[in-house]
Structure 1
């Protein structure tokens, strides 16, 4: 069908502005269709009838969507034609309708099946066609047999996994009291909606067995839990696929919570030449006030982009409750194929591709299967620190799960770092950067149970950031280690369970280091700033209005705008309770290239050099035993991509002249 002259120009990506009133007044059928779609979506949010309202032209973006950009309101509206219908306008792309997993019609299940079949046929995501089953699996009743728990030992067969939120309402569980009956049959009436949907989905895929954590681990047996949790890496890695109830807050939500309504606006009718059309439109980008609401044509929300933390994406967290859970992080990364049931659509991750039903998924999800594998040792260490940063922003019901919930990924990483020892969350071959974690956010009350040695991030109840990965490109670390001041001697951790990468009961780090005594106090009687002083050189915690980092700062430079030397305490509440001698243990000096970050806040030539030292409290003076209580940072901005050594020559570190090393043990 022919287009008017303005519509012909709308495929030109250079852009043309025009008055909104033109869409309504023109004789062009396509212009009027676009007008109807915009009115249906924006009214009454945007004053679309304003005489001064002008809009840029339509443009085809790289995803082949037909978008209307409304820059005045920060809005993009996408238009497309439904799959299988006649589209009178060739400039519109075609997308498949999002239906339900249970639908036998062309829709979501067939889309998922195509993704799976394409992966199996063309990718190298899994070479284990017939793996050994986990200790226990659930029989899906594929052949009409009862749904029940099955002993999987020594049996080789294909199986799938379910990733789900437990929520406030505990799911159906296997315990020492009911395991015998579960081995006979699990009555359908007792199975929650999410489990039912996953079992039915497994049947449609012709998969006989499914692994569900609450059913396949004896929940009131600490011994069984320890043994089975240590096998998590193999359980998820060997599965055919993991299906994730991403939108369900507990086991009652089911897999089809994402398909209870369609988010797009439908424009159906017939053209003047009697040709039928079925056009869809919805927000591709929406104002923050409407992005999370069930408004007409609201945008399909996708999981978090890699340049965001959970706190950055806080408004969308309720849309993806599963992705806020710490345990799920490794489930997604370890599975060869991960199919998410989101609120609006299905999303696909495998080790070679990512897809979504709407075709607009951001290509840079954090730590996806496409990017998890690499061989270079420095990049592996960098990748691990980024994993830890993101993982520490997620939620765990029990703090003691901090190391167990990451143990599967630690095991996978150890296979690629065969020469390095895993030490309660950090690695022996990259201590110069792994030890430099900085806590932020509100204090957490210290529990009675041991979480990890003080030098490991696992001991902290707060979120953490690493200066060596902050805002850096995922595969291009923007940090150079200019100097290392310590010598690593040895370290060990005592495993608390059968899992060598799980909980620990003890940990010691022995190093030869430059050690400097500090004086503790406030800047003045009327100042709330907290000061660690070496001789006449003070290190300030924060200014009086901000005694600690309560949120993730946008860049490192802002931390040194008012005070060049900083104190970062691991536990703010204890700052007035330090009764032992306090020392600084000089570690390393780094150069951070600010122009390599996602957020180009500074002049392109700016770099920042920071010297980091551990802040230690002496526990045993005779044996030189210490525990970490924080981090000291001495930072300065320098000019030029390669840094400026003169800045350190003109104003050296206050520790520069005293470099005699002492052997110490940090617990």
Structure 2
């Protein structure tokens, strides 16, 4: 898709005239140097490189004159690239972010949700001369995920991890001490039939598949077809994604593959509970996990054509012609500054079960729309950044947290909170899987800390764990209501379908943090064979400071707001777990008062002022944080959580030390 001839064929005189001008006030001639916001990095003792981030107005850029009419040729390059990959950008009122780095490629992104996480990369090839001094090259990415080059890259990544002595965290126990999954798919010999085998407790080297089931038909193992699948499975009878997983397994030189839908008897409750409770170990002990990141279901292959780059013809001020390349890419690289791991984008990244599959795997190959990414417990690589780097990775989250443990602070709890925040944003097909789908991670945390686990919170970090806050997406979101069926106790974040957050204190606040509660007792009843999975009930009995208050509800601009009214203090805003309603307390069919409860979708919302109880959970210097509680439907003395609050300690000056049971 070449630029207009007017951009490519300008007279030498007009080019020379443009050269004498100051840099373009919009794009600064795509030069990271000599700008008031330029940053210089000393990467060696000999030279410093410059970087620059420009924030451009989309409307202003789109109205830039044609270069033949005196417009900027560098703005023309940006416009050409944006036209090719971001349809409709000219009409948007968003900011365009242009990241420039000396001798590096140019990355262009647009604010807003429409193109969130998508970038255009502008670069020159290694075979051609750069059209201007600061533009650099980019690594070649094969056009198809099933190319020989991509398979070579995958094999190099895995082999380097297996053989590199620095990858201590990636070393598995001896083969003889690793128990294989109960069943595996035998795929390794092309001439032999593909079939399910019972491992009979023997050890095998195998690959795992991490994938979306989707809403369509998925081939599954059942009580009725298990024997047939153990005899022969025709390759063309498998879903396209499973076919690709078999091809990848064979390309890696392995014979066995674990796919949950085929290796767990799906209509056997006992088999599902037994095998799903072992998923953490299954993924951790596998040779590598194939992550079908861009596949929405079994019908969507992962060995597919990638987004293709385009070529932009460009002439410099002397009339010399150059070819510039531009390609669409996803913003997936680890964030070194914030310490965040890679962010593979695709349908799979929205699924709740998948988080623990990636956290617990030792090695992962992420098949995205643009390229292949590799993570292990030690390093990260991708096809556009193939050099081995000790970047933060998802499989390294727990091992690194364990390694950093100190006498004053346990980073494992920070890692748990980070994973819960990410997990709570993801989707579940079966609501009852909320606890089972993170039980593998919980098992690792339990192993590292020795703490008791109570339906999503930890005994040894109870105060901080109880202070989670719900962050609903919008006031109209159906997830802002309580669930109709019981799934978890109200004190647990797993009782709701909302993203949650934890307050992250700075070092000074962390030192000042003090728990205000004592756990007197707890109870929990698991519903199945997984002790860290689904529960039928759980409760906590706490000793701590409590005050009685009124909770008021009012609506402003269509949004419901809730505030505590405590005698002697100003109104205190609370963070509600969901929408709330006032209800009568009934005992023996007679009304004895009012309370507040989480609202269900069937409830009619209205303004109210009703009594609640507040329990202080922790203190930060002159502040106290705690829970707002309403009386349970089972009646006093059992309370249920409604939300969280933070207030000055004067609100709790007249608090009583009481025993409170929360369920």
TM-score by length of 2: 0.72
Aligned match for 1:80, one of 120, 123, 127 = 123
Are residue 617 (structure 1) and residue 658 (structure 2) matched? no
1:236 Cα deviation (Å)? 0.4
Correspondence for 1:507: 538
Q: Distance in 2 between matches of 1:393 and 1:239?
A: 27
Aligned 8 A contact 1:227 1:499 in 2: yes
Aligned match for 1:92, one of 136, 147, 169 = 136
Aligned 8 A contact 1:515 1:662 in 2: yes
Are residue 453 (structure 1) and residue 489 (structure 2) matched? yes
1:413 Cα deviation (Å)? 1.0
Q: Distance in 1 between matches of 2:491 and 2:661?
A: 11
Shift of the 223–86 alpha-carbon distance from structure 1 to 2, 3 Å rule, reads same
Aligned to 1:153, the other structure's residue is in SS state coil
Shift of the 138–618 alpha-carbon distance from structure 1 to 2, 3 Å rule, reads closer
Q: Distance in 1 between matches of 2:543 and 2:659?
A: 4
1:370-408 Cα offsets, whole Å, 9 max, x none, are: 333223253211221121122111100111100000000
Aligned match for 1:629, one of 621, 630, 641 = 641
User: Cα RMSD over matched residues?
Assistant: 4.8
Q: Distance in 1 between matches of 2:31 and 2:312?
A: 21
Shift of the 159–568 alpha-carbon distance from structure 1 to 2, 3 Å rule, reads farther
Correspondence for 1:426: 457
1:59 Cα deviation (Å)? 4.8
Correspondence for 1:495: 526
Structure 1 stretch displaced more, 456-465 or 193-202: 456-465
Correspondence for 1:410: 442
Q: Distance in 1 between matches of 2:311 and 2:216?
A: 37
Q: Distance in 1 between matches of 2:569 and 2:216?
A: 55
The residue correspondences of 1:557-636 to structure 2 (distance < 5 A) are: 570-571=598-599, 582-590=612-620, 609-617=623-631, 625-635=637-647
Aligned 8 A contact 1:125 1:337 in 2: no
1:345 Cα deviation (Å)? 1.1
Q: Distance in 2 between matches of 1:619 and 1:57?
A: 56
Aligned 8 A contact 1:438 1:568 in 2: no
1:100 Cα deviation (Å)? 2.0
Aligned match for 1:41, one of 57, 81, 91 = 81
Shift of the 571–347 alpha-carbon distance from structure 1 to 2, 3 Å rule, reads farther
Shift of the 270–630 alpha-carbon distance from structure 1 to 2, 3 Å rule, reads closer
Are residue 117 (structure 1) and residue 159 (structure 2) matched? yes
Shift of the 665–60 alpha-carbon distance from structure 1 to 2, 3 Å rule, reads closer
Are residue 66 (structure 1) and residue 105 (structure 2) matched? yes
1:610-656 Cα offsets, whole Å, 9 max, x none, are: 532342415667xx6313231342436xxxxxxxxxxx5xxx12x21
Q: Distance in 2 between matches of 1:206 and 1:144?
A: 15
Correspondence for 1:439: 470
Correspondence for 1:266: 311
Shift of the 577–80 alpha-carbon distance from structure 1 to 2, 3 Å rule, reads closer
Correspondence for 1:161: 208
Aligned to 2:181, the other structure's residue is in SS state coil
1:511 Cα deviation (Å)? 1.5
Q: Distance in 1 between matches of 2:111 and 2:368?
A: 30
1:251 Cα deviation (Å)? 0.7
Aligned to 1:458, the other structure's residue is in SS state helix
Aligned 8 A contact 1:585 1:616 in 2: no
Correspondence for 1:644: none
Shift of the 510–549 alpha-carbon distance from structure 1 to 2, 3 Å rule, reads closer
1:301-357 Cα offsets, whole Å, 9 max, x none, are: 43897999xxxxxxx99x611000000011111111111111111112111112222
Structure 1 stretch displaced more, 197-206 or 447-456: 447-456
Correspondence for 1:643: none
Are residue 665 (structure 1) and residue 661 (structure 2) matched? yes
Shift of the 59–662 alpha-carbon distance from structure 1 to 2, 3 Å rule, reads closer
Q: How many residues align?
A: 562
Q: Distance in 2 between matches of 1:410 and 1:225?
A: 18
Correspondence for 2:33: 13
Q: Distance in 1 between matches of 2:482 and 2:600?
A: 12
Correspondence for 1:394: 426
Aligned 8 A contact 2:246 2:257 in 1: yes
Aligned to 1:256, the other structure's residue is in SS state coil
Correspondence for 1:329: 355
Shift of the 164–446 alpha-carbon distance from structure 1 to 2, 3 Å rule, reads same
Q: Distance in 2 between matches of 1:413 and 1:192?
A: 35
Correspondence for 1:280: 325
1:109 Cα deviation (Å)? 2.0
Aligned 8 A contact 2:97 2:111 in 1: no
Runs of 5+ unmatched residues, structure 2? 1-15, 24-28, 37-53, 55-60, 91-95, 580-594
Shift of the 495–100 alpha-carbon distance from structure 1 to 2, 3 Å rule, reads same
1:254-288 Cα offsets, whole Å, 9 max, x none, are: 1134x3431x21358999xxx99875224xxxxxx
Are residue 245 (structure 1) and residue 241 (structure 2) matched? no
Aligned 8 A contact 1:244 1:340 in 2: yes
Q: Distance in 1 between matches of 2:98 and 2:428?
A: 47
1:426-471 Cα offsets, whole Å, 9 max, x none, are: 10011111111222324545555431122111112333222x23xx
Correspondence for 1:385: 417
Runs of 5+ unmatched residues, structure 1? 50-54, 283-297, 309-315, 551-566, 592-607, 637-647
1:199 Cα deviation (Å)? 0.4
Shift of the 477–67 alpha-carbon distance from structure 1 to 2, 3 Å rule, reads farther
